[in-house]
């Protein structure tokens, strides 16, 4: 760990020199790259330098134990006890800071929410989940942009794809991918029986053009007339767009905008995100089981959470967490779930790092 920390500090000093170089300052893109790296390394270097000061303090206090004065020895013992606790705390912080970072953590996210088993009840719950995530995003002043959606007649959603734009959005939402199960009595149920339905959620990091290169010759683009409710021009012009990525077979459609160009741009965002997600999944499959758990990946088809209305309960099955705050959570207050998941996977990552 110490060799790595020394290398981080040397790189930090090197970047500081670059940031004072007029040539780099005048090149906006290069300068911004160095600024971002400087900000990231600054977190580690600040703790590392405090750690070195603590070690120096321990050495000095150890020397004072040799003093003939009993009072000075007592003071030195007290100081050593305090500094040892500080040393352990700083070592824990450094281990955490040195963990491999997910390169997508700071990205915007694309949410894909689809009704699964349960028919109309599943579609209604898909709408509930989208509102839950939207309210949480709004509480953080993040922007929500619906890319495409397919509503049902009674207020549900067969499918909705939306982008949430905010710094670190992917790091917050990345553990929400999977099957969300709901247990409740549908409004159409005359006997009062509890039904179980399911909704699938996929959370994808937004992909830039530099992340995923797409050859235009590998795309088949179809335009057609939009269907469903809309404004005056919807249903009257060929504004809907369907893009097929021939090598992978991925198909993306978008028809929510009146403009064909806007629909095409939105569809391309979704396509890039899905291709990047495929690349990430393929990379994870090549890694060991320990590495998979470290990055918190898993089978998306697996049930991750149950929302039980009769008991007012939400259970996350991956970490064994149960909260009797269902209505509160559905209003967008999901911090406790998000923080618990992040802590769980971070602890796993630290354990794996210790074993290596």
Q: Do domains 2-97 and 109-210+302-351 have the same CATH topology?
A: no
Q: What is the pLDDT of residue 290?
A: 37
Q: What is the pLDDT along the chain (356 residues), one digit of tens a residue?
A: 777 888 889 999 999 999 999 999 998 888 888 998 898 899 899 999 999 999 999 999 999 998 888 899 999 999 999 999 999 999 888 888 887 777 888 889 999 999 998 888 999 999 999 999 999 999 999 999 998 889 987 788 999 999 999 988 999 999 999 999 999 988 767 677 888 999 999 999 988 766 788 888 888 988 887 765 544 444 556 788 899 999 889 999 888 888 888 888 888 889 988 888 888 777 666 544 433 443 333 334 578 999 999 999 999 999 999 999 999 999 999 999 999 998 888 888 777 766 54
Q: What is the pLDDT of residue 294?
A: 35
| Terminal-residue alpha carbon distance, the chain | 12
Distances (CA, A) of 88 to 80, 81, 112, 292, 348: 12, 11, 42, 28, 19
Pick the CATH number of 2-97 from 1.20.1050, 3.40.1440, 1.10.3470, 1.20.58: 1.20.58
Residues 6+ apart with CB under 8 A from 353: 95, 98, 99, 294
Q: Which CATH class is domain 216-282?
A: alpha beta
Q: What is the pLDDT of residue 288?
A: 47
Domain ranges of the chain: 2-97, 109-210+302-351, 216-282
Q: What is the pTM of this model?
A: 0.69
Q: What is the pLDDT of residue 230?
A: 47
**What fold does the segment set 109-210+302-351 form as a domain?**
Alpha-Beta Plaits (3.30.70)
């Amino acid at each position: 760990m110490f060799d790595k920390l020394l290398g981080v500090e040397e790189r930090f000093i090197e970047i500081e020199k670059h940031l004072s170089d007029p040539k780099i300052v005048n090149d906006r893109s290069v300068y911004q790259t160095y600024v971002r790296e400087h900000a990231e390394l600054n977190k580690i270097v600040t703790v590392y330098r405090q750690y070195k000061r603590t070690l120096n303090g321990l050495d000095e206090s150890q020397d004072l134990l040799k003093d003939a004065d009993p009072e000075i020895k007592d003071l030195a013992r007290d100081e050593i006890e305090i500094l040892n606790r500080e040393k352990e705390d700083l070592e824990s912080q450094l281990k955490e800071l040195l963990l491999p970072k997910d390169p997508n953590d700071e990205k915007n996210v694309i949410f894909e929410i689809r009704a699964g088993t349960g028919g109309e009840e599943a579609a209604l719950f898909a709408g509930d989940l989208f509102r839950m995530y939207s309210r949480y995003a709004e509480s953080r002043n993040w922007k929500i942009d619906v890319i495409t959606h397919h509503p049902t007649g009674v207020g549900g959603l067969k499918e909705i794809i939306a982008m949430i734009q905010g710094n670190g959005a992917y790091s917050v939402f990345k553990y929400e991918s999977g099957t969300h199960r709901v247990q409740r009595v549908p409004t159409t149920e005359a006997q009062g029986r509890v039904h179980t339905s399911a909704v699938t959620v996929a959370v994808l990091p937004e992909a830039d053009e530099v992340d995923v290169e797409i050859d235009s010759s590998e795309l088949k683009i179809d335009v057609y007339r939009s269907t469903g409710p809309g404004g005056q021009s919807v249903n009257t012009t060929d504004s809907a767009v369907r893009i097929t990525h021939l090598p992978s077979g991925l198909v993306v459609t978008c028809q929510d905008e009146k403009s064909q160009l806007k629909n095409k741009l939105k569809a391309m965002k979704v396509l890039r995100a899905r291709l990047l997600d495929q690349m990430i999944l393929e990379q994870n499959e090549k890694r060991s089981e320990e590495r998979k758990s470290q990055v918190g990946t898993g089978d998306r088809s697996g049930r991750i959470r149950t929302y039980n209305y009769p008991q007012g309960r939400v259970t996350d099955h991956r970490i064994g967490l149960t909260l009797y705050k269902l209505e509160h959570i559905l209003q967008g207050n999901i911090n406790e779930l998000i923080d618990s998941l992040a802590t769980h996977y971070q602890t796993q990552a630290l354990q794996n790092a210790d074993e290596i």
